[in-house]
Structures are given as C-alpha cells and as structure tokens.
Amino acid sequence: MGFEFVYSSKLEAAVNWARKFSLFSYPFVTACCGMEYMSTAAPKYDIARFGSEFPRFSPRQADLLIIVGTITERQGPALRRIYEQMCEPKWVIAFGVCASTGGFYQNYSTMPGADQVVPVDVYIPGCPPRPEQVLDALIMLQERIQRGEGHSQIAMRVDQGFDVPAASVRPISRITEHGEKAKVK
Amino acid sequence: MAQLVLDRLLAQFGGGEIIKTGSQHGNEWARIRPDAWTAVCTFLRDDPTLSMEMLTDLTCVDRFGDEPRFDVVVHLYSVSKKHRVRLYGGVPEENPLIDSLVPLWPGADWPEREAYDLYGVRFAGHPDLRRLLMYPEFIGHPLRKDYPKEKRQPLVRRQAGSLD
Ligand code: SF4
C-alpha cells in the first residue's frame, strides 16, 4: 500500500504530482454522451495534453473511471465490479447529467446518479457536456489529486491508520480559486 | 388503403371473431376476439391475396380502468402486396393470457418477451417467456399504469457517507 504518506509531505506532493499527469482512463460508455467523449479524446480537444492519454481496455490497467452516459439499475452491479477491479488509488468522473444525477430520466429503470454505487470525485453537468467542460473537470480532478483529496486517496489514508477529519473532502470551488489566481496576477 | 384486408377478414370470419374494424388516418385496424387470435393471424399470413409475411411490431397498451384492461397490438405488413393492418387483442386483468405468435412469425419472440416484462401479459406457447429488459429480481411490471412512478428496485447501493 501507499508508503508515501509515511514520508514527508514533500514526497507525497511529488507522488501526487506524478499521479495527476499519468491518468489512465477506463471509459464506461453507455449512452449518447459517448459521442462527446470521443470528441474530447480526438485531436481537436486532445485530452492527451493533460497526461490522460490512454483509454485502457481493462479496468485493471486504469486508475480513472469515466462514467459516460445513463446508468440503469441493471448495470449497477457491473459498474460496481469494474470499480472494484481497479487498483488504488483510483478516481471517478461522472460525465454528463445522467451519470451525475440520472438527468431527466426519473423512472423505474434509471439509477439516480452513478454515485449511488461508486464514489464520484468530479461531476460534469451538461446533456451532453461540451468537451471544454470535460477538460475543465480533468483539471479540477488533477488539482484534487495533488491535494490528496480523492475519495480513494482518503480511504487509503484511513486504512493506514492516519487520522482523517470527518469532513475531509472539501468542496472544490473553482470560482474562488480562479478569482484568487486572478487577484495574484 | 388496405380496406381489402378488412373485407377479406370480415368475409372469412363471420362468427364474431372480428369484434370491430375501423380506419384511422389511413391505417386500418381490427379488434380480434382473443380466442381467435392464432386463427386470424394464420389466415392473414397464409391467404394468397393478403400474405402478411412480416410482423412489424408487437406491443401492449394498458387501458387502465377499462375492460379488458390490456390490448396486445400487432402491426402486420405484406412485403409482396404492400399493405398493412393493425390488430388489437384485448386481454383481461385477472388472466392476461393470449396465444403467442412466435410459431407464425419468429420475430415475435422478443416483442412478446418485452410485453410480458413490462405489462405482465403472458403468451401461451411462447418458447422462452422470460423478462427481456428488466433484471430477473425485479418485482412487478413497470409500464402498468398502477406501478408507482417513483418506485425503484435497486440491486446495489453504497452506504451513505462511505468513501468507497
Ligand atoms: S446526459 Fe444527455 S447526452 Fe449524456 S447520456 Fe444523458 S441524455 Fe445522453
């Protein structure tokens, strides 16, 4: 398991820096959002610029699960199993309103958000979201990885017996961060 | 347009098998007594002037509050004669059973499974009447109008507040 937390925070920062620029994604594509995912991965928007280059073909080789599209109740066990097959630390992005909340589907078959079965780190709204939003979400996730605040990063620390405050998952406020950065400039 | 089909049907079945016929927006329909379901469909398929080779669709309607409650709806098309007809077979709520059309048109297999899954109508003689869309653990038939709109039957859920 992750030895890095035992060592100094500088090492942890370096490891997290390496992690955030080497995300291997596993796209769990079920519905129309998949078109927009392809666009994001294609040369025009080029998600490879952010180090999230390879869609892997097995969850065992991936550390970023991108849930793209509507999740039905019937798919719940499959999605959970795929998440459990991924090695720690791992992160999850919910792509589109269907994966985030169920979207406009309010019925017997659609799961009201993928976070009913797996912990989601970043939600992307939109039906479907623009590729720019996806890149924005990826940058948000990278900032979160750098701070060590991904769900599985915190869970690993809890496993190792570190004291983690109950409300350790801070809400990420991009607007404030951008605002602060803007002020600094 | 396909009045010929209805005329042939009415001429062939005079014993009350054809309950009612009509035409709406140029589409002819006939309401069939459910016990004559197979006989009428076989005639439609095999009669040389009708030759309905193709079952375009089979589905179901829940006329909640009416009797019979469920209507099994079949759309037939003749590829050679280029005419089509729509058949209704009413089945009651307490015993929603009607003959399967799989022996006549193998393409009725999955539509009948879907109608069984979502409405609970059973098809006598269907080779493999299982749920098609919902999972086997699902209880009830979700497209029935008395199925609660908000009711969900989850297979798995995270614990509230867990990191995993
Ligand atoms: S959010 Fe919209 S585009 Fe994406 S899967 Fe749902 S319905 Fe399709």
Answer whether residue A179 shows pLDDT above 70. Answer: no
Helix or strand (DSSP H, E) at A17: helix A9-20
- By DSSP bridging, strand B70-77 and strand B84-91 are antiparallel
Answer whether residue A175 shows pLDDT above 60. Answer: no
Chain A residues near residue B155 by CB distance under 8 angstroms: 73-74, 76-77
> Is B163 in Cβ contact with A117 (below 8 Å)?
no
Model confidence at A11, in pLDDT bands (50, 70, 90)? confident
Helix or strand (DSSP H, E) at A134: helix A131-147
Q: What CA–CA distance (Å, rounded) separates A94 from A27?
A: 10
Does A119 reach chain B within 8 Å, measured CB to CB? yes
Atom from ligand 1 closest to the CA of residue A97: 1
Question: Average pLDDT of chain A?
Answer: 81
Nearest-by-Cβ selection for A158 from B155, B156, B163 = B163
Query: Residue B39 corresponds to which amino acid?
Result: A
Q: Which two tokens stand for residue B6?
A: 């209805």
If you take atom 5 of ligand 1, which residue's CA is the nearest one? Answer: A69
Model confidence at A152, in pLDDT bands (50, 70, 90)? confident
> Is B164 in Cβ contact with A119 (below 8 Å)?
yes
Q: What CA–CA distance (Å, rounded) separates A72 from B31?
A: 36
Nearest-by-Cβ selection for B153 from A73, A77, A106 = A73
Nearest-by-Cβ selection for B152 from A108, A151, A154 = A108
Q: Tell which residue, B162, B36, B118, B73, has the closest CA to residue A151.
A: B162
State if residue A67 touches ligand 1 by the CB under 6 angstroms criterion.
no
Closest approach of B101 to chain A, Cα-based (Å): 28
Q: What CA–CA distance (Å, rounded) separates A35 from B38?
A: 45
Backbone conformation region of residue B65, classed left if phi is above 0, alpha if psi is from -120 to 50, else beta: left
Q: Let me know if A135 is exposed, middle or buried by CB neighbors in 10 A (0-12, 13-18, 19+).
A: middle
pLDDT tens digits, one per residue of A53-105: 778 889 999 999 999 999 999 999 999 999 999 988 899 999 999 999 988 88
Chain B residues near residue A109 by CB distance under 8 angstroms: 133-134, 142
Residues 6+ apart with CB under 8 A from A97: A103, A104, A125, A126, A127
Chain B residues near residue A118 by CB distance under 8 angstroms: 158
Does A157 reach chain B within 8 Å, measured CB to CB? no
Q: What CA–CA distance (Å, rounded) separates A46 from B162?
A: 34
Atom from ligand 1 closest to the CA of residue A35: 3
Nearest-by-Cβ selection for B142 from A108, A118, A154 = A108
Q: What confidence score (pLDDT) does residue A98 get?
A: 93
Q: What confidence score (pLDDT) does residue A165 get?
A: 57
Closest approach of A185 to chain B, Cα-based (Å): 37
Give chain A's end-to-end CA distance (angstroms, integer).
40
Q: What is the mean pLDDT of residues A30-54?
A: 87
Answer whether residue A118 shows pLDDT above 50. Answer: yes
Answer whether residue A26 shows pLDDT above 80. Answer: yes
Q: What confidence score (pLDDT) does residue A184 get?
A: 35
Averages of pLDDT over runs of 10 residues in chain B (164 residues) are 85 88 91 93 92 94 92 94 92 93 94 94 93 92 90 82 67
Which residue carries 């797996």 as its tokens? A118
Widest distance between CA atoms in chain B: 71
If you take atom 6 of ligand 1, which residue's CA is the nearest one? Answer: A98
Does A166 reach chain B within 8 Å, measured CB to CB? no
Q: What CA–CA distance (Å, rounded) separates A100 from A123?
A: 6
